[in-house]
Structure 1
């Protein structure tokens, strides 16, 4: 078997460090002159798959401890110590300069031999797409099963818009309860989450547990506590409340991040540079918290008494006689023998915003 080197990595990392850290940096792939023509039109692709040789890897263990989770077989891990030490990483192509590809997210050290470059194509490189159409939470369920909270947080950030400690806490609580329940959520109101805050914590719950306002399985109680109760309908043994008990954790362990949060978010008085620094520190903090033991961060109570609503009813529609728009019948207002929506009737209503539930 013959493997040809087609290029080499140029990176600030001369020795291996954690792959998570390396994926946050830019690097360059220098393609050898005889293969440069093969880069024709590569700029058309946003992402590339890079195959490379772990040239500093020595030996291997068929059973070893993973970075996260229990011991597993070598071929269920991404360890560089392998019988044939070949790595593969999907990177973002930033630009091409002649024989140089500037990329982001490559976890290979300086001097690493590159043995192949392929365009990333979702229709070929995501073999679970057809299964995911049938089971939308397939990937999330897999991440929970294998206790990969790191990647759960990455995906939750897509919903939330940024990474922060309380998003991580929500992900951590939801992943832990689903693991304990041995449950998968199909969004049919059988698994409920009763949240007591409308902070970032709740977004972590919604994404990870699949309990959302839209599928009527997220219930909001305006208590202002970083807490959530998970309930499985029809199973009295599956009832757990998580309360974040170490409320001083952020200020104590991450004082710079906490100080910037007060200035940038609470006081709305930070500069653009301070905002970017806060986001950077908030992200670092979130990815440290997500690896914590839930039992150390939360007070977890079983058999909590909680009154649950019935399954969401299906209402008939009525039409507002003024604006012509349709609305759920129970929300219609009868005024002067006319059916009106609350807006046209200038009637009071409730609104959930950053302050909680307020009457307008």
Structure 2
């Protein structure tokens, strides 16, 4: 069997450290000149799979203790000490400069020989796609089961649009609660989350717990508190309530970020540079928060008392006699013997916005 070196890794890490640490940094893969043509159009791909040789690995044990957990067989681990010491990692391609590929997420040290580069293709490389068709939250449930809050926060950021401390707190609370309750949400109103404010915190709850307004399992109580109660209908006496113990911890522990928040968000007078700096600090703090135990931030009340709403009713339809649009009959207005929507009737209604629930 012949294995050829096609490239070499350039990294700030000269000796092995934890792969989680290395994956947080950028690396460069220098491809040898004779293979340069093989990089043609590689910029079309956002992610690459890198196969590399553990050149400092010596020997192996078929049974060994894992970094986290009990002893297991070698082929159930990611250990570099293997009979054929080859590693594989999916990385993000940041840019190409000639024979240099700038990547993020590579857990290989400086000087590591690279033996192959392949484009990452989700339809070929994700074995969970068929499972996800059957169970839409398959991947999220798996992240919760293994308490991989780093990846949960990454995914939640896709919904929320940015990373911030209160988004991370929502992720932290929801992941902990679902693990304690042994709950997996199928969107059928059997798991409920009762939030007490409409802030970034609530988006962390929605994504991780799968409780949303659309599936009628996110209940909003306009109390203005950073708090949430999780409950399964089948075990309503085992509800868990999470309340942020110290709402001022950011001002005390991260004064620079707090000052920028005040200027950029509260007062809306920050420059673009200050806005970018705030986002960077917010992101840094968010990923620190999810490394902590939930008890650090939350007062967690077990067997919390909670009044559960009924399952969402199915309303009959009605048609507005003025605009012709259909609506829930329960929301229609009778005016001069006509059925009208609230807009056409110029009737008052309730709106949930940044101020909470307001009457319009």
Provide TM-score, normalisation by structure 2: 0.92
- Matching residue of 1:96: 96
**Equivalent-residue separation in structure 2 for 1:215 and 1:153 (angstroms):** 22
Question: Given the superposition, is the C-alpha separation of residues 349 and 9 from structure 1 closer, same or farther in structure 2, using an over 3 Å criterion?
Answer: same
**Equivalent-residue separation in structure 2 for 1:301 and 1:186 (angstroms):** 25
Check if 1:39 corresponds to 2:21. no
Deviations 1:32-86 (A, max 9, x none): 12222322332332221111223344566644453xx544635555454555443
RMSD of aligned Cα (Å): 2.1
Check if 1:141 corresponds to 2:137. no
Report the secondary structure of 2:246's partner residue.
Answer: coil
Deviations 1:122-153 (A, max 9, x none): 10011110110110010011111111111111
Deviations 1:226-276 (A, max 9, x none): 110111102134311111113232222222222221221112121111111
**Equivalent-residue separation in structure 2 for 1:39 and 1:163 (angstroms):** 34
**Equivalent-residue separation in structure 1 for 2:169 and 2:57 (angstroms):** 36
Report the secondary structure of 1:118's partner residue.
Answer: strand
**Equivalent-residue separation in structure 2 for 1:348 and 1:109 (angstroms):** 64
Matches within 5 A, 1:270-289: 270-289=270-289
Q: Which runs of 4+ in 1 moved over 6 A?
A: none
Structure 2 gap ranges (5+):
none
Question: Given the superposition, is the C-alpha separation of residues 302 and 12 from structure 1 closer, same or farther in structure 2, using an over 3 Å criterion?
Answer: closer
- Matching residue of 1:348: 348
Question: Given the superposition, is the C-alpha separation of residues 76 and 275 from structure 1 closer, same or farther in structure 2, using an over 3 Å criterion?
Answer: farther
Question: Given the superposition, is the C-alpha separation of residues 94 and 217 from structure 1 closer, same or farther in structure 2, using an over 3 Å criterion?
Answer: same
Check if 1:318 corresponds to 2:318. yes
**Equivalent-residue separation in structure 1 for 2:75 and 2:19 (angstroms):** 18
**Equivalent-residue separation in structure 1 for 2:149 and 2:215 (angstroms):** 24
**Equivalent-residue separation in structure 2 for 1:196 and 1:6 (angstroms):** 56
**Equivalent-residue separation in structure 1 for 2:213 and 2:58 (angstroms):** 51
Question: Given the superposition, is the C-alpha separation of residues 75 and 165 from structure 1 closer, same or farther in structure 2, using an over 3 Å criterion?
Answer: farther
- Matching residue of 2:263: 263
**Post-superposition offset of 1:221:** 0.3
- Matching residue of 1:231: 231
Deviations 1:2-31 (A, max 9, x none): 322111123344455555554454433221
Structure 1 gap ranges (5+):
none
